[in-house]
Amino acid sequence: MDIRHLLYFREVALTRSFTKAAHTLSITQPTMSKMIKDLENELDVDLFTRIGKRVAMTDAGSLILPQVQRIIDAFNELTVQLDDFRHVRTGRLKIGLPPMIGANFFPKVLAEFHDHFPLIDIELMEAGGKAVEQGVADGSLQLGVVALPVSRNDFLVSSFFRENLRVLVAKNHPLHKHHRLSLSALQKERFILFHEDFALHDMILAHCEEVGFVPNILCKSSQWDFIVRLVAQGLGVALLPETICQEAQDESVASIALNDPVIPWHLGFVWRKNASLSFAAKAFLDLAQAHFS
């Protein structure tokens, strides 16, 4: 048994699929199956049951998964400490960024980081905040950028940006001349939202319910610029951060302050409490915090 057996076991346990696990770890599916079979033979237990394409953990698999995670964490911790001891300035930074946040806040930060540390490879995962949180939790990401607060208690958090949401409407919309709006004034409007993988989706629904209505959702998207175009066509209204509204505002759309309630958009870095940050992750975190301060 070596660390690869444990990494492969954990990935199959997380994805419940040999094919997905093999794709994630860039190996072939037969290799993945053989490695898991070798591990089962060595431990003399079945770790997974296979029903067609579906995979489920056995009781034995569920029993050893927490121990496997601890061993992987310990191995990663050892690697990090040895790298820092040797002052290695090469490596890989794995960071998760929601598309709206990444596109609007991080190009300059990433360019500056590359200038300082050209031998560090940067691997970005662009996904909604929920997927970024999961990537940090399972160790596939070193750092994540998400909307705060987060509900997990196994994360460390560093805030770096705060502003409020505004209402985006078409310039020919009856509301476009208002300087301020309450959320309840929008209850008869059609909403265009980010889809469920994004923290803004749940945040907006929760605030609508607090003021007494369930929004009429026309559609959901993962791309803020597409949401803006739909608003410009008069298909609905959107609630977007001030930064996005400023970039989007032109002759076709207008943004209006939302003041009852004010809905904050608060961004931060998250990483796991029980996993030391690598040199690359520490350096990126320090540089980004200096940039946004």
pLDDT in tens, 25-46: 889 989 999 999 999 999 999 9
Mean pLDDT of 238-249: 91
Mean pLDDT of 22-27: 88
CA distance 144 to 132: 6
Query: For 86-160+267-292, CATH number?
Result: 3.40.190.10
Q: Which helix (H) or strand (E) holds 127?
A: none
pLDDT above 90 for 277: no
Mean pLDDT of 59-81: 87
Q: What proportion of the chain, given as a percentage, has pLDDT over 70?
A: 97
Query: For 3-66, CATH number?
Result: 1.10.10.10
Mean pLDDT over each residue of the chain, to the nearest integer: 90
Alpha helices (H) along 138-262: 199-210, 224-232, 242-248
Query: For 162-265, CATH number?
Result: 3.40.190.290
| pLDDT of res. 84 | 61
Mean pLDDT of 254-271: 94
pLDDT above 90 for 193: yes
Per-residue confidence at 87, pLDDT binned at 50, 70, 90? Answer: low
Mean pLDDT of 120-124: 91
Under DSSP, is residue 93 helix (H, G, I), strand (E, B) or coil? strand
Mean pLDDT of 283-290: 92
- Token pair, residue 39, equals 């591990």
Instruction: Output the pTM of the full model.
Output: 0.69
| pLDDT of res. 293 | 82
Q: Which of the pair, 83 or 257, is modelled with greater confidence?
A: 257
pLDDT in tens, 123-144: 999 999 989 999 999 989 999 9
Domain boundaries defined on the chain: 3-66, 86-160+267-292, 162-265
Mean pLDDT of 90-111: 89
Output the DSSP codes for 112-144.
Answer: HHHHH-TTEEEEEEE--HHHHHHHHHTTS-SEE
Mean pLDDT of 98-120: 90
Per-residue confidence at 50, pLDDT binned at 50, 70, 90? Answer: confident
pLDDT above 90 for 88: no
Task: Give the distance from CA 79 to its chain's centroid.
Answer: 25
Tell me if 3-66 shares its fold with 162-265: no
| pLDDT of res. 64 | 92
Under DSSP, is residue 148 helix (H, G, I), strand (E, B) or coil? strand
